[in-house]
């Protein structure tokens, strides 16, 4: 259910409607738009009676939302969601720019992280990715440096200005990631770890949700909805390949989900061609394709010594490839009247 | 790596080898077998040097385990794992019996739970399943009664003797499930929630791991390995259908994984034809097939009023269907020289 | 569209209705049932006007068939289709028996074929399978002995009584297979070779259609419909595994399609656990499961020297395994009140 | 096996080597390259003995080809295959241009075909597609106009210069398509109809092979190999989406196969975003992505009245969308240093 306020409704009227909804035992989500404010109503206990709501001051109309996802739906919010990073000019979403996220699969050491960070920053990346907590298939494989990695990435942010995106895998790591990073990543394996999604929804940091290996579009948007239902509306989606019979790539990158998401939802969607293909020689072509299909950004693994990487070496591109790719992406983005920002401008010292 | 002790090795020798391994910074898993004890060596820091180990007293040989899973592998433990339930005659695994787990998708109320429990107990089920914490695709759907459901199931155990299997979805629910239930279920969506698996591995209750929707056999066994690597060797696997293009069922039940698991691992494997098909009229035929293929048990959703169920009604069978099915399963099990126990014998008052 | 005749309708009335339909430019398919005759109407030119039909003598009612398949649908014919083999007691379909088809993947030589045929006949198989024309992934691989193989199989029929099932891959081979075999097999790769299906529909030999590697249930039934739309109603379906991400078997055997087909269609459905798993050690367990799920028969590859087979050796079982399997299948079939005939009775000399 | 001739080898020496190979009972495929001629050896009867071959005059070396496909492999022919259309400047393949194929799913009438043809020709398409023989899932659906459609397309070629691509579905239609069209299309459902592939290989018209719905990369290349093994080396591949669990598109377009094919094979590969997505609003974004990933061309369905189309209306774009798309594709191709030719130049009157 969605309450659409009149264009001239006052903040007090919005507030009053929210209170009314909460008193009925539901949750009110105030969603300010360019023209008007909408108020999403969610809750576990069945459906609210629209009767009285329609007659509250400032209410234009009350709409039933037919999709299983509500806050993530374009029905509820027509304008593209834009995620901003305070103190910087970086944004994700909104339809006019293409965000570039780059970095190693795992933070392996201070030296490795800095070597890669300096190079991707020099090529213009605004966002740095690096795994601190790694969900590995084997309990005996390298599981990440944890807190140490987060501290290294915080240093990288101070030094380069790049904003940090890193994965949280449970309550404990979520608390640390929330403290150190700029975007909390929920990995593909946890896309339906609803408990973790809800906890991420209670933070006030943007949350990047990667598509699960066999998630349908609806399930993908429902995972975003889990985060949003807790009041955190800064959700970024990320396609990273799905599992199929095809064996020439590690996963099958499903680029058609980009226009599909954009039709149904206002949330930004990135594409990760590194996990999406698992093979270095396919990363750059698919990154180009992702920009051409209209993605809001690219998330890519870069390693200066991929043959020595502790994880995902075969799918990491070299810093030089990344630099060349940036130029291609810029040109393709221009065809779609989009912009690939080069470098991040930090107004004040980060944090 | 696996240390095989001589048949006549003493407990003190086993103990000494374990200590030696731990001193090297690895983890030792003592795995007593019918003929001899084996000691599994796991750890995050590379591979142990076999040199000295071979010359310790009581050691027969040191074997490299080539599979990514070690403790779950038949290389490490040849005999079938049998999960026992103290104070009862119920078992899961071992190759000679077929365990029957039945109950509603969710515990919806005391009345509903008792109505179903009494009927499945009367038909001979030894295990009762019921969701207390439900991982639902929508944040607005019924999420389970939580602690109240666990308390209802504990009452059902006291009354009927049936052992309780229920799902944990995060740290908080895991603590409660561990306290109240006899088997901790990890659902398909959490099969690669490694943090949760490790926490389940630190309990001393049997853990049932359901196959993820697009999990390969190796990944499935690696999830069991995560639990076992923490020292909990009582792991039960459960096939519940995988996601494919086929649209005549909710999932595609992959019965071939039963002989595949049995060849590679000593762990028991159950089959859940309810989630595996999602359609009532296919549950009984596929349950029969599961016993015929050699599964160690069946996990099935039963509801006395499926049309009123808060979740998974369309795939729940009626108690009368369950009763008839038990007879068919008994006859098919006999063809494989297996036994379907009818009713559970509780020696002392449960708990 | 379906015209249901009254129980007491005369053959002349049925005839008259058929003529009326044909005059309208459609095709009439007379489908005699136990209680009454139904007349299926098919055609390329849109829908027939039911108006006049309802008033023709002997017509009980005219029903719109909503499914895309019509002749294959249970709406059109309620009773199970039973395929009979003139001069023998062998049948496929009907719900009371389980047909066993066995033989090598390819006919490699007279010696090989006879060696296998004698053993499977001795174990009670009523049907012999063997490839004469092989659709191989590589143009450089063994493509079958062609006509020579057909002649060898005709000899085997004369000698053992077993009826012959073999694949046709194009017009040329179809003509030969129709002449020599008792059942024309259309392989999985040709399930949507509609031209071939129509040509098979113009023969008067039973046609066995194998499910394509990624065929949905509707597409599978539509392939049967292609054969039937040409007037050949003796169609047998065969599940042989579908292609999924799972890598522990060659294909994923989808046993749930058996009850799904039986609900929607009157046609018999067999299961091929050899192609369905691709691994010898899984063939017998899945064959048991197929009988338990309710399949109308089993099609299995048997080879006396599988390590020397020119094709599909790893999935062929030994004749001794086949013999043991027959006993297990017999016992499981009995649980479903079905019968596994042992040996074929030939009234007169075959052909 | 591959015989590499010396750069200075004479035509007579090439001829002599071919004769030698044929005398051994194999097939010789002379493959002239920019630097040297290679001779591919194929055959059903095992492997040729390299012994004598190495010592024949003009032979540089004899190489074993490890891939299952040989003539389709880059090992055998390093330079990109370029398909030329006599009397015109149109080409497919070669890495420097992007071929555009457009037209309706089916030729429905002369008027419809001309209306669409005129518009796509005006926008610069060099190739016209239109179905004359349609492989439809239902025997009761529109099956195409057959010969009449071929004659209409021949007229379109005469009038617009565009070269004609249309599907053959069996021997009968192949003969007609070969006579009337410029490129013979083998549809996805027939990708493993080896008999048809071999027959297409015996024509001397270029053959476009569409990827089957669940074809692996190897199987896809093997289908090309079937055509080539008969001596027709003018093969064009076409990705058109594969079948997965994803339900937001009709198929999942697998763009990663483009760089995968280009690494292993010299054959051109097109992308069909119409069948690949099945939804009009996704066709243009995915066409852009296909050019960005490096495809050798795009095959797209255009209809001036898609809501009235007899087949595939929902996935056909409007002529105006096609015109705009051409401009975008041109700009993206330029980023890859490729060219989208606009219009076709016909030297002499076509045919």
Please tell me the predicted confidence (pLDDT) of residue D4: 87
Q: How far apart are the CA of D102 and the nearest CA of chain B, in angstroms? A: 29
pLDDT digits (tens, 9 = 90+) for A28-40: 988 877 778 888 8
Cβ D137–C170 below 8 Å, yes or no? Answer: no
Please tell me the predicted confidence (pLDDT) of residue D326: 98
Three-class SS string for D19-63? HHHHHCCCEEEEEECCCCEEEEEECCCCCCCCCHHHHCCCEEEEE
Instruction: Set out the domains of chain D in order of their start, with CATH numbers.
Output: 2-63 (3.30.70.1140), 83-335 (3.20.20.70)
Percent of all residues in chain A with a pLDDT value above 90, rounded to a whole number: 78
Please state, in angstroms and rounded to a whole number, the distance separating the CA atoms of residues C183 and C205.
6
From the number of C-beta atoms within 10 Å of its C-beta (0-12, 13-18, 19+), residue A237 rates as buried
Please tell me the predicted confidence (pLDDT) of residue B350: 47
Please state, in angstroms and rounded to a whole number, the distance separating the CA atoms of residues B124 and B127.
9
Cβ D216–A245 below 8 Å, yes or no? Answer: yes
| Nearest residue in chain D measured CA to CA from B213 | D245
Please state, in angstroms and rounded to a whole number, the distance separating the CA atoms of residues A215 and B263.
30
Please state, in angstroms and rounded to a whole number, the distance separating the CA atoms of residues B151 and B181.
9
A120 within 8 A of A128, measured Cβ to Cβ? yes
**Overall average pLDDT of the A198-218 stretch:** 97
Is the pLDDT confidence value at C51 over 80?
A: no
Using a CB-CB cut-off of 8 Å, the residues of chain A touching C244 are 245
Closest partner CB to D255 (pick from A244, A259, A289): A289
| Nearest residue in chain A measured CA to CA from B136 | A194
Cβ density class C301-337: b for 16+ within 10 Å, e for less = bbbbebeebbbbbebbbebebbbebbebbbbbbebbe
pLDDT class for A349, splitting at 50, 70, 90? low
pLDDT in tens, chain D (351 residues): 888 899 899 999 999 999 998 888 888 988 877 778 888 888 766 677 777 888 899 998 888 877 888 899 998 888 999 999 999 999 999 999 999 999 999 999 999 999 999 999 999 999 999 999 999 988 888 889 999 999 999 999 999 999 999 999 999 999 999 999 999 999 999 999 999 999 999 999 999 999 999 999 999 999 999 999 999 999 999 999 999 999 999 999 999 999 999 999 999 999 999 999 999 999 999 999 999 999 999 999 999 999 888 888 899 999 999 999 999 999 999 999 999 999 999 986 544
Cβ C44–D142 below 8 Å, yes or no? Answer: yes
| Nearest residue in chain B measured CA to CA from C251 | B256
Would you put residue B278 in left (φ > 0), alpha (ψ -120 to 50) or beta?
left
Cβ B139–A226 below 8 Å, yes or no? Answer: yes
Please tell me the predicted confidence (pLDDT) of residue A350: 47
Closest to A243 in 3D by CA, of A272, A214, A277, A284:
A214
Cβ A255–D292 below 8 Å, yes or no? Answer: no
| Nearest residue in chain A measured CA to CA from C242 | A245
SS3 state of residue D343: coil
| Nearest residue in chain B measured CA to CA from D242 | B245
D103 within 8 A of D157, measured Cβ to Cβ? no
To probe the interface with D, which of B243, B244, B245, B248 has the most D CB atoms within 10 Å? B245
Of B53-62, C47-56, D22-31, D88-97, the one with minimum mean pLDDT is: C47-56
Decide which of A49 and D82 is more confident.
Answer: D82
SS3 state of residue B20: helix
Say whether pTM exceeds 0.90.
yes
DSSP symbols for A161-184: --EEEEE--SHHHHHHHHHH-SEE
Q: How far apart are the CA of C292 and the nearest CA of chain B, in angstroms? A: 5
| Nearest residue in chain C measured CA to CA from D188 | C192
DSSP symbols for A81-120: P-EE-TTBS-EE-SSSB-EEEEE-SB---HHHHHHHHHHH
Please state, in angstroms and rounded to a whole number, the distance separating the CA atoms of residues A281 and B18.
46
Closest to A88 in 3D by CA, of A271, A342, A344:
A344
> Tokens 């489908």 appear where?
C31
| Nearest residue in chain D measured CA to CA from B247 | D245
Closest to A263 in 3D by CA, of D204, D281, D164:
D281
> Tokens 């992505």 appear where?
D289
Please tell me the predicted confidence (pLDDT) of residue A220: 98
Q: How far apart are the CA of C246 and the nearest CA of chain A, in angstroms? A: 8
CA-to-CA dists, residue D116 to C51, D38, D105, D125, D309, angstroms: 39, 44, 11, 11, 12
Please tell me the predicted confidence (pLDDT) of residue D40: 87
Please state, in angstroms and rounded to a whole number, the distance separating the CA atoms of residues B187 and D135.
43
Closest partner CB to C259 (pick from B216, B259, B281): B281
pLDDT digits (tens, 9 = 90+) for C176-197: 999 999 999 999 999 999 999 9
To probe the interface with D, which of C139, C141, C176 has the most D CB atoms within 10 Å? C139
DSSP symbols for B162-213: -EEEEE--SHHHHHHHHHH-SEEEE-GGGTT-HHHHHHHHTSSS-EEEEPPT
pLDDT class for A44, splitting at 50, 70, 90? low
Mean pLDDT of chain D: 93
To probe the interface with B, which of D212, D213, D242, D245 has the most B CB atoms within 10 Å? D245
B86 within 8 A of B75, measured Cβ to Cβ? no
Cβ B242–C252 below 8 Å, yes or no? Answer: yes
Please state, in angstroms and rounded to a whole number, the distance separating the CA atoms of residues A41 and B141.
14
pLDDT digits (tens, 9 = 90+) for A97-139: 999 999 999 999 999 999 999 999 999 999 999 999 999 988 8
Mean pLDDT of chain B: 93
To probe the interface with A, which of D95, D262, D292, D324 has the most A CB atoms within 10 Å? D292
Query: What chains are in contact with B, requiring at least 3 Cβ pairs below 8 Å?
Result: A, C, D
Would you put residue C316 in left (φ > 0), alpha (ψ -120 to 50) or beta?
beta
Closest partner CB to D169 (pick from C44, C139, C195): C195
Using a CB-CB cut-off of 8 Å, the residues of chain C touching B294 are 285
Closest partner CB to C214 (pick from D196, D213, D218): D213
Using a CB-CB cut-off of 8 Å, the residues of chain C touching A244 are 245
pLDDT digits (tens, 9 = 90+) for D310-346: 888 899 999 999 999 999 999 999 999 999 999 999 9
pLDDT digits (tens, 9 = 90+) for B185-238: 999 999 999 999 999 999 999 999 999 999 999 999 999 999 999 999 999 999
Please tell me the predicted confidence (pLDDT) of residue C64: 81
Cβ B141–A190 below 8 Å, yes or no? Answer: no
pLDDT digits (tens, 9 = 90+) for B235-274: 999 999 999 999 999 999 999 999 999 999 999 999 999 9
* ipTM surpasses cut 0.90: yes
| Nearest residue in chain C measured CA to CA from D138 | C222
Q: How far apart are the CA of D192 and the nearest CA of chain C, in angstroms? A: 6
Closest partner CB to C293 (pick from B249, B259, B286): B286
| Nearest residue in chain C measured CA to CA from D189 | C192
Please tell me the predicted confidence (pLDDT) of residue D44: 65
Phi and psi at residue C177, in whole multiples of 5°?
Answer: -60, -40
> Tokens 């039934």 appear where?
C221
Using a CB-CB cut-off of 8 Å, the residues of chain C touching B255 are 253, 255, 285-286, 289
Please state, in angstroms and rounded to a whole number, the distance separating the CA atoms of residues A4 and A14.
10
Decide which of A165 and B64 is more confident.
Answer: A165
User: Which residues, listed in sequence order, are joined to residue A84 by a DSSP beta bridge?
Assistant: A91
Would you put residue D306 in left (φ > 0), alpha (ψ -120 to 50) or beta?
alpha
| Nearest residue in chain C measured CA to CA from D133 | C195
pLDDT digits (tens, 9 = 90+) for B16-28: 999 998 888 888 9
Closest to C104 in 3D by CA, of C95, C96, C115, C94:
C115
Q: Show Cβ contacts of residue D156 under 8 Å, excluding neighbours closer than 6 positions.
A: D113, D114, D117, D128, D130, D162, D164
Please state, in angstroms and rounded to a whole number, the distance separating the CA atoms of residues C39 and C27.
10
Please tell me the predicted confidence (pLDDT) of residue B167: 98
B294 within 8 A of C294, measured Cβ to Cβ? no
Residue C173: count other Cβ atoms within 10 Å of its Cβ: 21
Please state, in angstroms and rounded to a whole number, the distance separating the CA atoms of residues C293 and C303.
26
Q: How far apart are the CA of B141 and the nearest CA of chain A, in angstroms? A: 6
pLDDT class for B316, splitting at 50, 70, 90? very high
Please state, in angstroms and rounded to a whole number, the distance separating the CA atoms of residues B259 and B262.
5
Using a CB-CB cut-off of 8 Å, the residues of chain D touching A252 are 242, 244, 252, 254, 256
Cβ density class D225-234: b for 16+ within 10 Å, e for less = bbbbbbebbb
Q: How far apart are the CA of B320 and the nearest CA of chain A, in angstroms? A: 32
Using a CB-CB cut-off of 8 Å, the residues of chain C touching B242 are 244-246, 252
SS3 state of residue A21: helix
B343 within 8 A of B90, measured Cβ to Cβ? no
Token pair recorded at residue A320: 């030089």
Please state, in angstroms and rounded to a whole number, the distance separating the CA atoms of residues A4 and A64.
11
Please state, in angstroms and rounded to a whole number, the distance separating the CA atoms of residues D88 and D341.
12
CA-to-CA dists, residue B37 to B30, B67, B77, C81, angstroms: 7, 20, 9, 59
To probe the interface with C, which of D44, D68, D138 has the most C CB atoms within 10 Å? D138
Cβ B293–C285 below 8 Å, yes or no? Answer: yes
Please tell me the predicted confidence (pLDDT) of residue B328: 98
CA C9 to chain CA mean position, Å: 32
CB pairs under 8 A between B and C: 129
pLDDT class for B45, splitting at 50, 70, 90? low
Is the pLDDT confidence value at C130 over 60?
A: yes
Token pair recorded at residue D146: 């057959």
Between D257-264 and A280-293, two packed helices, what is the crossing angle to 10 degrees? 140
Please tell me the predicted confidence (pLDDT) of residue B233: 95
Using a CB-CB cut-off of 8 Å, the residues of chain D touching B244 are 245
Please state, in angstroms and rounded to a whole number, the distance separating the CA atoms of residues C152 and C143.
16
Using a CB-CB cut-off of 8 Å, the residues of chain C touching D194 are 135-136, 139, 169, 189
pLDDT digits (tens, 9 = 90+) for C253-286: 999 999 999 999 999 999 999 999 999 999 999 9
Please tell me the predicted confidence (pLDDT) of residue B16: 93
Decide which of A201 and C347 is more confident.
Answer: A201
From the number of C-beta atoms within 10 Å of its C-beta (0-12, 13-18, 19+), residue B69 rates as buried
Please state, in angstroms and rounded to a whole number, the distance separating the CA atoms of residues B51 and B28.
16
Beta-strand ranges (E) seen in chain D are 2-5, 27-32, 37-42, 59-63, 83-84, 91-92, 99-103, 127-129, 163-167, 183-186, 207-210, 235-239, 269-271, 297-301
Please state, in angstroms and rounded to a whole number, the distance separating the CA atoms of residues D291 and D338.
9
Entry field: residues in chain C: 351
Please state, in angstroms and rounded to a whole number, the distance separating the CA atoms of residues C107 and C115.
11
């Amino acid at each position: 259910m969605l309450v659409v306020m009149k264009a001239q409704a006052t903040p007090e009227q919005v507030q009053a409607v929210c209170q009314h909804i909460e008193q009925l035992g539901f949750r009110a989500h105030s969603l300010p738009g360019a023209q008007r404010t909408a108020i999403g109503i969610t809750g576990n206990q069945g459906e609210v009676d629209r009767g009285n709501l329609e007659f509250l001051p400032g209410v234009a109309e009350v709409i039933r939302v037919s999709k299983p996802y509500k806050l993530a739906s374009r029905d509820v919010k027509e304008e593209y969601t834009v995620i901003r990073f305070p103190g910087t000019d970086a944004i994700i979403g909104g339809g006019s720019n293409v965000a570039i996220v780059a970095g190693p699969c795992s933070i392996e050491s201070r030296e490795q992280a800095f070597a890669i960070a300096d190079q991707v920053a020099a090529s213009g990346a605004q966002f740095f990715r690096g795994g601190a907590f790694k969900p590995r298939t084997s309990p005996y494989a390298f599981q990440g440096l944890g807190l140490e990695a987060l501290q290294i990435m915080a240093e990288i942010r101070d030094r380069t200005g790049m904003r940090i995106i890193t994965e949280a895998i449970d309550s404990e790591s979520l608390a640390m990631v929330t403290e150190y990073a700029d975007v909390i990543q929920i990995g593909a394996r946890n896309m339906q770890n609803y408990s973790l999604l809800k906890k991420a929804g209670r933070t006030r940091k943007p949350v990047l949700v990667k598509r699960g290996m066999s998630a349908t579009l609806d399930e993908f948007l429902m995972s975003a909805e889990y985060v949003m239902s807790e009041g955190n509306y800064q959700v970024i989606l990320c396609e990273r390949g799905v599992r199929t019979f095809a064996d020439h790539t590690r996963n099958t990158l499903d680029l058609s989900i980009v226009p599909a998401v954009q039709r149904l939802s206002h949330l930004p969607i990135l594409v990760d061609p590194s996990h999406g293909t698992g093979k270095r020689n396919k990363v750059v072509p698919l990154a180009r394709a992702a920009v051409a299909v209209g993605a809001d950004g690219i998330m890519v693994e870069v390693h200066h010594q991929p043959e020595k990487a502790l994880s995902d070496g075969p799918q990491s591109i070299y810093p030089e490839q990344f630099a060349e790719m940036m130029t291609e992406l810029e040109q393709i983005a221009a065809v779609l009247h989009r912009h690939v920002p080069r470098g991040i401008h930090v107004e004040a010292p980060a944090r």
